[in-house]
Amino acid sequence: MPFFSLHQAQQCFFLYSPKPLSKFPRARTLFFLCSKMSSNSNSLQNYPTPLSPPLPSISKDIELARAMSASSKSSLFGLSRSDILYEDEWLIAVNKPQGIYCDTILASVPRFLSGSAPSDRLCEGNQASTLELHLANRLDRDTSGVMVITKSHKVASVLVKAFTNHKVQKTYVAFCIGSAPKSERITIKSGHGRSKFGAWRVYAAGDVGRKLPGGSIVRDMETTFEVLSINGQQNYKEQSECMEDEEHSIVVEEKAVTDVDANKDEILVRAFPRSGRTHQIRLHCQYLGFPIRGDVKYEGVYEWKGRTYDAHELHAESLTFQHPVTGFPLLIQAPLPLWASQALQLLTD
């Protein structure tokens, strides 16, 4: 039997069989399986480290209950005239309610178009039976706001490319609980990707392009936040207004330091995502220390001031883009949900 060096032995797994092989009746059998441990272990050690916390243990059961509730609500959902924000022969824009899946919205469009009276329609274009409907953008289950659906493959191709190339300007409004930022305007740049457990996490900006478990890579993400109010104080600024205050820029390279004993403030923010990564705004709010209220997946409070929140409070306020057919600029804006309008009402009282 050949001898193995210590280094070779460390790279092998040995299996011993008490039963002899048929070709060697007098010998008991020793199997060994060699592995490429050196390359695999090195690659594991070289994966970038996520800088945002893992999913809280409380989130699993709560998210499951929310998903079941959303499935029930979605099965009963049907578009109404009040949900339609814009329509022409190429596009239809919808104000997606909180707790409804995007695919439910898409499936309900043909029923709405075929079942609505002519007086209820914004456009008398293609019939519902001939439409080739596509989601131009997606929103998380519990995020409300503007969703655009195209009516043909060709238009879908053009608009999806505009989203991919960051040619679409997006604004969101979020209600957060945490430590109030010192600046009224913050831009944060970081990496984005899935950790080895499949959860979306914040990574260092310097890790962009590096490989992650599963074969994906860290991608860049950038969000600008404008603080609209803190604990009901501060002037509300219209979306079109430009803030003159100096912008505070953060390039993420290390884990955030959060003071767990600090007072928690109620913060209303408007977000301008300049990339379109999954859970981008939610992740950046978590990293900055003011997670979105109700967002248990990213450390948002589940209970606040005696009330339990069944969903996170994030609203896709507007989309601005060049019309894929006419070329004219198009602004589609959704009315604010009750939680946002109530927060803004406090500023004007």
Residue 108: strand, helix, or coil: helix
Integer angstrom CA distances of residue 157 from 149, 151, 163: 12, 11, 10
Write the Ramachandran bin of 258: left for phi over 0, alpha for psi from -120 to 50, otherwise beta.
beta
DSSP 135: E
Angle 222-227-230 (CA atoms, 0-180°, nearest 5)?
140
Distance between CA atoms of residues 337 and 145, nearest Å: 9
Give strand ranges (E) for 219-349: 219-230, 248-251, 265-273, 303-304, 307-308, 314-322, 329-333
User: Is 140 a known active-site residue?
Assistant: yes
Measured distance between the N- and C-terminal CA atoms of the chain, rounded to whole angstroms: 89
Q: Report residue 345 as tokens.
A: 């009402």
The catalytically annotated residue of 83, 88, 103, 140 is 140
CB 96 within 8 A of CB 119: no
Distances (CA, A) of 49 to 197, 204, 213, 218: 12, 8, 11, 11
Contacts of 194 (CB under 8 A, 6+ apart): 200, 201, 212, 213, 214, 216
Cα 91–92–96 angle (5° rounding)?
140
Query: Which of helix, strand or coil describes residue 30?
Result: strand
Cα distances (Å, whole numbers) of residue 177 to 22, 174, 273 = 71, 10, 20
Task: List residues with catalytic annotation.
Answer: 140
